[in-house]
Amino acid sequence: MSNNKTSRRLPVRLLALSCLSLALAACGTIQPQPFSADEVTERVAQDRLQMYAEQEPITGPIGFHEAAARALKYNLDYRLKLLEHSLARSLHDVSTHEMLPQLVASAGYAYRSNDSGGTSIGIEDRTESLRPSTSQERERHLADLSLSWNVLDFGVSYYRAQQKADQVLMADERRRKVIQNVLQDVRNSYWRALGAQKLITQVDGLLERVEQALARAREVEQKGLMPRVEVLAYQRALLDAVNLLTLRRQDLELSRAELDALMSIQPGTGYSLADEAEQPLPKVPDNIEALEIMALERRPEIMEEWYRKRVTENDIKAAKMMVFPNLSIDTGVHYDSNKYNYNSHWSDFGVRLSWNIMRLAQWPALERAHEHQNLTDDMRRMALSMAVLTQVRVGIQRYDLALSELDFAQESLRVDQQLLHFAQASKVSRFQSELEVIRAEARALLAEYQRYASYSNAQAAWGRVYNSVGLDVLPETIASHDVKTLAQAIADTTQHWQQEVFEAPRRQAASSDGAETPAVAGAAVSLQAAAE
């Protein structure tokens, strides 16, 4: 009867072996499969939907702080850093479980085509003493539950978990840096875009008038009503005005496109910027040494580099762990259905101490690597700290220069507007008066554009002072993450930093000296080149 049961199982096993062979053979026939055109089209459509999905609708004109809030909430670079931070935290959670002992449960089935067994012979006379016998069935069911713990695995997993924890902190510092950079870009683009909103209609109107004047000049040239040299000079002056206005118009349009990209607003979306009063610009900071110390304490790049030192140091420590002896503990419960066993259930326990003595030769090299790694990390951090200190001083000097440039642009605008009034009030002849009025209007419009650009540059320079010090634009906790709440949080935080970091030292100095400390006069050095 046992032979019949065996014969019935053989076809099943042969079928299983055949299926396994076919599966293994198929592994070698997989070919590269590029995405089809329909799949690419569908992916693009889905990406476009996700890029602008779940955004709060624009219900009114957008102010500066709302623009900053929308940029932080919907900017794809910032959302990527949030996901990277979440990924780093998840990997840290995974690494903490690697320190746990291994608890393995297994169950299985074993079959062999004939009996397992043997005979015995005498050692001295080589005479067979037992007839062939077996103590194991051809078919068995097995089950095990084993617990094992390895000291070296635990030590290495411990240092790996510490590395993952530091990588979470590094990801958070990168997130902070993206926040600072996004607000810096918004600060620069918003005020340029607001100037564009105010000026672009005037630019278009003046360009239209210039085109009409050019058409009349060509008509006069064709009819010979004026000397040709005079008409050509008139046309040349008009073309120069067109060239300057066109270049400025392009700058105005690009600033609006940059702001759209920062806020992740879908191209073509109609909205307007709030026609709010320009924010007053603070005085040039004079507590440079205090700002330098604060920058060394708060800059995300320095903090990230400091955490990276701990990550690399834990690499060396994990390598050193492998030099020490290893202690492993194993225990488990087992089951075997073999009917010849005296005990089908049993448990076992074992302790083993092992040591790869040859690894001791690595210890001097590991010590040197540890020392050199620490020196390298410290030098990298000090080099970065020197760059940060330079950025703080250069940023303050650049802000001082931007304020001077703004004053100059304001005065130029005042003069060009008065010249425009004189040109409009003193018309002499048709062509000359029209040319002078257009020239004066173009100069006044360009001066107004330059004034908006200078104010934007001053705002950008002030934002770079914030960035150089490493000041955060968001508080530690926010009650809600809607656009309105984020905008208010950004406004409150920036106002707090301005009062506590930049204005308080000046007030303290004024109260101690009986007069306000004069603003620092700076030289013109570009912060942007140093920051990048």
What pLDDT does 13 receive?
62
CB crowding 275-293: b at 16 or more within 10 Å, else e: eeeeeeebbbbbbbeebbe
pLDDT in tens, 209-218: 777 777 777 7
Hey, what are 268's tokens?
Answer: 């073509």
The DSSP letter of residue 323 is T
Q: How large a percentage of the chain has pLDDT more than 90?
A: 16
- The span from the CA of 120 to the CA of 114, in Å, is 19
How many Å apart are CA 485 and CA 491, to the nearest integer? Answer: 10
Residue 54 backbone class (left: φ over 0; alpha: ψ -120 to 50; beta: rest): left
What pLDDT band is residue 508 in, cutting at 50, 70 and 90?
low
Q: Is the pLDDT of residue 264 over 70?
A: yes
What is the pLDDT, as a whole number, of residue 51? 78
37: pLDDT strictly greater than 90: no
* pLDDT for residue 477: 65
Beta strand residue intervals within 213-277, DSSP E = none
Question: Given this model, what pLDDT does residue 504 score?
Answer: 63
Per-residue pLDDT of 448-476, as tens digits, reads: 888 888 888 898 899 889 889 988 887 77
CATH topology of domain 60-98+145-354+378-466+515-531: Outer membrane efflux proteins (OEP) (1.20.1600)
Residue in this structure with the two tokens 């006379």, named with its chain if needed = 125
**What pLDDT is attached to residue 10?**
53
Domain ranges of the chain: 60-98+145-354+378-466+515-531
Beta strands in 115-229 (DSSP E): 116-118, 133-136, 139-150
Q: How sure is the predictor about 484, in pLDDT bands with cuts at 50, 70 and 90?
A: confident
Residue 404 CB: number of other CB atoms within 10 A? 16
Tell which residue, 179, 185, 183, 169, has the closest CA to residue 79: 179
74-88, 165-179, 465-479: range with highest mean pLDDT: 165-179
What is the distance between the alpha carbons of residues 175 and 164, in angstroms, rounded to a whole number?
16
Q: What is the pLDDT of residue 526?
A: 31
- Residue 57 is predicted with a pLDDT of 85
Q: What is the pLDDT of residues 268-300, one digit of tens each?
A: 788 888 887 788 888 888 888 989 999 999 899
- How confident is the model over 318-373, as pLDDT tens digits? 988 889 999 999 999 999 998 888 899 999 999 999 998 988 888 999 899 889 98
How do residues 84-109 score in pLDDT, each as one tens digit? 888 888 888 888 877 888 888 888 88
The yes-or-no verdict on residue 19 having pLDDT over 50 is yes
- Nearby residues of 256 by Cβ (< 8 Å), 6 or more positions away: 193, 196, 197
Report the alpha-carbon distance of residue 5 to residue 431 in Å, rounded.
115
Q: Give the containing element (helix H, strand E) for 109.
A: strand 102-111
DSSP H helices in 426-531: 430-469, 483-497, 504-513, 527-531
DSSP string, 148-166: EEEHHHHHHHHHHHHHHHH
Determine the Cα–Cα distance for residues 270 and 264; give it in Å rounded to an integer.
13
194 is written with which tokens?
């607001």
From the DSSP assignment, how many helices (H) and strands (E) are in the chain? 13, 6
pLDDT, position 432? 55
- CB neighbours of 405 closer than 8 A, spacing ≥ 6? 454, 457, 458
- On average, the pLDDT of the chain sits at 80
